[in-house]
Amino acid sequence: MQHFLDFKQLSDHQIQSLLGRVLAFSRRVDAAAHRQLLKGKIITNLFYEPSTRTRTSFEVAAHRMGADVVNISAGESSVEKGECLRDTLETLHAIGVDAVVVRHPQTGVLNDLLAEKAIDIALINAGDGCGQHPSQALLDTAILIAARGSLDGLKLVVAGDILHSRVAAANIQLLSRLGIDDIRLVGPTQLLPDVCPENVSLMTENFDAALAGANAVMMLRIQHERMDGLELPDADDYYQRWGLDESRLKLAQPDCVVLHPGPVNRGVEISNAVADGPQSLIRQQVVMGVPARMAIFHLLLADTNN
């Protein structure tokens, strides 16, 4: 396996073993052995969009596996001088980089690049426009398994800016592959897709109704940077209708867990009390980010090394 772009390219068996590996890495036994797994490898983070947790956790994951890491922000590289992505990747390959973690504002940018011509360096999608964010979906699914014991009976509400969210798209893709068929999408009509994605049981503006019987709810940030002129409700109206506070959370099952990929806009999509409350898994999601990215590196790079 050479690249990690989305879950379509993985077999069911590969998905299961990837998830198993995330959970195994999360136990942090054998840390010394992990540090040997990518010894001698060089990984570059190439980010054309801002990031805190994704970029840092890819970096920490690489360090925990003994790799060297080079970080590049597009604003500080030759990209500013007009260099195209392929030339940047070819340059990194020539320097000796083994894998590049790419975040880019253009949807499908890596798929398009590879369809045009192969590239001899492992590529990892860390978020492409409104496309996919597979490492986030991997960690979200791992945290749901860790928190609930399994995915059996999962009734997930995903709420917010579904239309522009690569986190929603990647989670729908992965959870569908894992047999989950009760996924409910909630948000203002203009932020819901025109066509209901496969395996989504409900698309609605009515958050309260969608929460009935739910045992997990994933809140999403409004992707202001991808609005393209779309009119949004004002912040107060948005919070009233699509914000998650304690009284709204009570409409779900009592053991309903709350996820958010971050960055969290407190008071816009979620209240402080819920974000920091006992049902929130937001902190644990961040923790799971590192083993999830270790498992991805392992899938692409470690087998050739050991």
179: left (phi over 0), alpha (psi -120 to 50) or beta: left
Site membership for ligand NCD, residue 167 (CB under 6 A): yes
Distance set, CA 2 to CA 114, 132, 211, 216, 237 (Å) = 11, 17, 40, 33, 46
Closest CA to 89 of 125, 123, 40, 42: 123
DSSP symbols for 108-146: THHHHHHHHS--SSEEEEEEETTS--HHHHHHHHHHHHH
- How many residues at the interface with ligand NCD, by CB under 6 A? 10
Integer Cα distance of 17 and 46 in angstroms: 27
Chain positions 116 to 135 lying near ligand NCD, rule: CB under 6 A, are 127, 133
Strand partners, 128: 104
Q: How far is the CB of 201 from ligand NCD (least distance, A)?
A: 23
Integer Cα distance of 238 and 268 in angstroms: 7
The answer to whether 284 and 146 have CB atoms below 8 angstroms apart is yes
Site membership for ligand NCD, residue 173 (CB under 6 A): no
Q: How far is the CB of 55 from ligand NCD (least distance, A)?
A: 9
14 residue type, one letter: Q
Q: How far is the CB of 255 from ligand NCD (least distance, A)?
A: 25
Site membership for ligand NCD, residue 102 (CB under 6 A): no
257 residue type, one letter: V
Among 34, 41, 64, 166, the residue binding ligand NCD under the rule CB under 6 A is 166
Among 26, 45, 125, 136, the residue binding ligand NCD under the rule CB under 6 A is 136
Tally of CB atoms within 10 A around 250: 11
Chain positions 192 to 231 lying near ligand NCD, rule: CB under 6 A, are 221
Among 15, 35, 42, 53, the residue binding ligand NCD under the rule CB under 6 A is 53
Among 45, 54, 111, 215, the residue binding ligand NCD under the rule CB under 6 A is 54
Q: How far is the CB of 54 from ligand NCD (least distance, A)?
A: 4
In the shown chain, the binding pattern of residues 243 to 282 toward ligand NCD, with x for contact by CB under 6 A and - for none, equals ------------------xx--------------------
Residue with Cβ nearer ligand NCD (97 or 130): 130
Binding stretches for ligand NCD (CB under 6 A) = 53-54, 127, 133, 136, 166-167, 221, 261-262
